[in-house]
Chains A and B, each alone.
Chain A
Amino acid sequence: MKKPVFPVHDIGMAVAMEDYIIEMLNITKEFPGVVANDNITLRLKRGEIHALLGENGAGKSTLMSILFGLYQADKGEIRKNGEVVRINNPNDANNLGIGMVHQHFKLVEIFTVLENIILGVEPAKAGFLQKSKARERVLKLSEQYGLKVDPDAVIEKISVGMQQRVEILKMLYRDNEILIFDEPTAVLTPQEIDELMEIMRGFKREGKSILFITHKLNEIMAVADRCTVLRKGKCVGTVDIDKTSKEELSRMMVGRAVSFRVEKKEAEPGDVVLSVRNVTVLSKTHKKYAVKDVSFDVRAGEIVCIAGIDGNGQTEFISALTGLEKISSGKITLCGVDISKASIRKRSKAGMSHIPEDRQKYGLVLDYTLEENLVLQRYWQLEFQKNGFIKSNAVRSYAGKLIKQYDVRSGQGPITVVRSMSGGNQQKAIVAREMDKKHELLVAVQPTRGLDVGAIEYIHKQLVAGRDAQKAVLLVSFELDEVMDLSDRILVMYEGEIVGELDPKTTTVQELGLYMSGAKRSTVKEF
């Protein structure tokens, strides 16, 4: 094998000796207005878990998409087992044993689990599908790796966690040996994350090699062998996990020390802003109630968190609260106005801001530009329109302000099409829009999902600042650290009911876990 003639960023240059399954050498990829990957070299050892870390928009997804054949690099080359390979499309990647689970899943919503897994590699005999064989194989794989799925369930009806297991099974079904995970844990509950970590360790034992993107340093410390850090499209370096720490990683990534604790003073709750009384919501998937007789108050100047394991009615409750779905009984009052049956626009005018759980489905018009998305809740206000005509200058300068304040990174600023932005920056755009809009109540569902540690720090500070400015915040988060750190009160939701109200200062994570799993419940204040 010839020695490469270009400079190598890797720490420890024993190139010829190491057993690299994949080498991405001097990869450069430009998009309009931004160099997403700037001369990046990444080497994946056989059988290792290699983490990829970097700020939002650093170029992680782009680099992985190049390896998976979705984009072609402008410069640089990819080698597998030391040989140069050309990956022009995902089929090529697949033939080389490379599989990928995307940041935003790529499943056919109306197909079943099994149909999605075999899509594109359907076993057929004389033109007829041989589903039974495929099913056997899928069930075997699912058992072997502990990936529980129901092969006949339709994708749009199953939880995000199971959808992800389907994506993983898709890779396994294709006998992939190089597995790319793009922020797999952003959408998972803590329990599911633990399971996924275990699954990844299992893959490693089987000799598979894994590339793993995450913003959660704990996860990197827990499973990864090495970690490559990117910053603004450039490679900062690759480090061995057993020789590094969370602090060093975050410093490499952001260029400064990051605080993981939220600094906040004692809350000074004021008047009741949101009052929820006996709210019941019917479930769409089954005949039962998704939310049963829920009552609570949120006051100005406090952050109240609804904690719970995903699927216990939080989604349905928030949909009903924000007006996306109807409540079947009960009463919701916002700042003294009864909004139980009000339209979404009325709720917004009454002072509600909403960071939605599904950013791509509800939060953004992906084919609109960044500036158009930043006024999605306000385009009709006199500040941005006159006689029905949009004031484009006002929109432009307002967008500029938010982009700067919230550090939303993109190729072309206000006129970037949001679809082309990185996942974390899409999220930042929503957060900026909802926090900047005049509001009394902020309903924030997973506000920091997919954000890097620096951005999380900033958003947390903003949430606390909003609270201190006497705004009410209703937070839904699966992130236990976030729940414990940020909230002033915790309401635990289990099977559609509030089963306990906890004070984060006197509660332990273990106790919270008991409530969330339904093992414990206490009497809640009666209204």
Chain B
Amino acid sequence: MPEKKNTTKKVFNLESVLKSKGFSAFMAALFAIFLGLIFGFIVMTVASPANSLPGFRTVLLGGFRRLGDVFYFATPILMTGLSVGFAFKMGLFNIGASGQYTMGMFFALYVGFMLKPADGIHWLICVLAGFLGGLLWGLIPGVFKALLNVNEVITSIMTNYIGMYLVDMLIQSNGAMYVPSKTRTAYLPQSAQLPPLGVDNSSVNISIFIAIFIAVILYIILNKTVFGYELKATGYNRFASQYAGMSGKRNIIITMAVAGALSGLGGAFAILAPSTIPGSSMTYEPINIIAANGFNGIAVALLGNSSPIGIIFSALFISHIQRGGTLASLFGYKPEIIDIVISVIIYFSAFSMLMKSILDRIVKKRREMRTKDHAETGGKDDPDADNPARALDNDKKGVN
């Protein structure tokens, strides 16, 4: 029975491939994205049936027309994604990425306006300042967790608000940074802006490479170093890490500080990006809004399964959908609808773990069908047809 042999083989392979850990996480992410897209499409259809097809096409493919922007907008969420994912490896939920992001941005701005070092290194110092700002802001929940056992989620939420109000206050009271008539910050000097990559009409700049480089470094830290070994061990089993003599307190503080620094870099990269209009720059409006890029980082990390390499791709994907979504407003979709579609896609995508269990169930179903299939085909020429074991016996002969 040659054909039967083939089908058996194929299903079996699918199974074993799905069982390998990395691959099944990847498949789950793809499946999650797929479902998210379907729901996004449904939302668009409900909102405006006539335009739904071309509109959805733009959401899907529009990003390819603006590749520079895809990379540019991917950079900050790549950083916040890495921040959330890194802490998550240790079992910490860094919901404070927004506050750390805002702090990093403020530190970068401050150095951008207030210090005037040599031209070549100005932006570099701004970036380092952003790193430091985020680090300090991540340190707070880390210290509270390690020394006083206060849940990091609670402290992070508070530091989000404190950070945002503090930054808004400091900016508004600083004459050199703030333009009250426009309710935004002044233009940064050229020297503080990141070197662009020279893509027309796009702010894409060197920071995307820095971000990818950092992701690779994090991958190495997590998988090749003693610190990574301790960090993951603690994330998997706190008790065993204690038993093995690891210093949980120290590791919590370091992890949160690193996570904060990563978000801080995200904020710095966002605000220091070069403007496409000469003589201007990116600006910040201190209008008491918590930075959305921090929360997007959570979705990015979930979709990327907290793995630094996975997060590179999930950040690019989410940025791609966001770009496409923006372009879809050309078809008359209100920005709010586009926001809903994007959120639906992002949040569905973030359910990849749920998808994994659904996938597993599908595999199981297929296996059952295979067994039944054999029982039925066996029935045509076999007196023992109603006995699946007999059919399985046939199966054995077929394979051997």
Contact = CB atoms under 8 A, between A and B. Distances in A.
Given A84-B387, A88-B364, A343-B245, A361 B392 contact: no
Q: How large is the interface on B (under 10, 10 to 19, 20 to 34, 35 or more residues)?
A: 20 to 34
A80 to B, nearest CB: 14
Interface in B366-385: 367-368, 384
B233 A5 contact: no
A324 B237 contact: no
Nearest to B221: A388
Contacts of A364: 237, 240
Contacts of A324: 242-243
A362 B243 contact: yes
Nearest to A395: B229
Interface in A370-428: 372, 376-377, 379-380, 385, 388-390, 392
Contact of A6 (B226, B239, B241, B389): B389
Given A75-B396, A365-B236, A379 B226 contact: yes
A276 to B, nearest CB: 20
Contacts of A26: 389
A389 B229 contact: no
A120 interface: no
B368 A388 contact: no
A323 to B, nearest CB: 8
* Secondary structure class of chain B's binding surface, majority of residues: helix
B236 A5 contact: no
A366 B233 contact: no
Interface residues of A, number: 40
Contacts, number: 88
A96 to B, nearest CB: 17
Contact of A5 (B242, B368, B384, B396): B384
Contacts of A4: 389
Contacts of B245: 343-345, 347-348, 377
Given A72-B367, A385-B226, A32 B240 contact: no
Given A4-B389, A5-B384, A365-B236, A376 B244 contact: yes
A2 B383 CA distance: 11
Nearest to B12: A74
A354 B245 CA distance: 12
A2 B389 contact: no
B200 interface: no
Contact of A376 (B232, B239, B240, B247): B240
B227 interface: yes
Of residues B233, B242, B243, B392, which shows the largest number of chain A Cβ atoms within 10 Å of its Cβ?
B243
B225 interface: yes
Interface in A192-226: none
Contacts of B182: none
A356 B243 contact: yes
A32 B18 CA distance: 12
A368 B234 CA distance: 11
Interface in A474-525: none
Contacts of A76: 389, 392
Given A88-B368, A379-B229, A389-B226, A361 B239 contact: yes
B393 interface: yes
Closest 3 A-B residue pairs measured CB to CB? A345-B245, A344-B245, A362-B243
Given A345-B247, A348-B245, 7 more contacts: A324-B243, A345-B245, A362-B239, A362-B240, A368-B232, A372-B233, A390-B224
Interface of A: 2, 4-6, 25-26, 32, 72, 75-77, 84, 86, 88, 324, 343-345, 347-348, 354, 356, 361-368, 372, 376-377, 379-380, 385, 388-390, 392
24 contacts: A2-B387, A5-B393, A32-B19, A75-B396, A76-B392, A77-B388, A324-B243, A344-B242, A354-B243, A356-B243, A363-B243, A365-B233, A365-B236, A366-B237, A368-B233, A372-B233, A377-B245, A379-B229, A388-B225, A388-B226, A389-B226, A390-B224, A390-B225, A390-B229
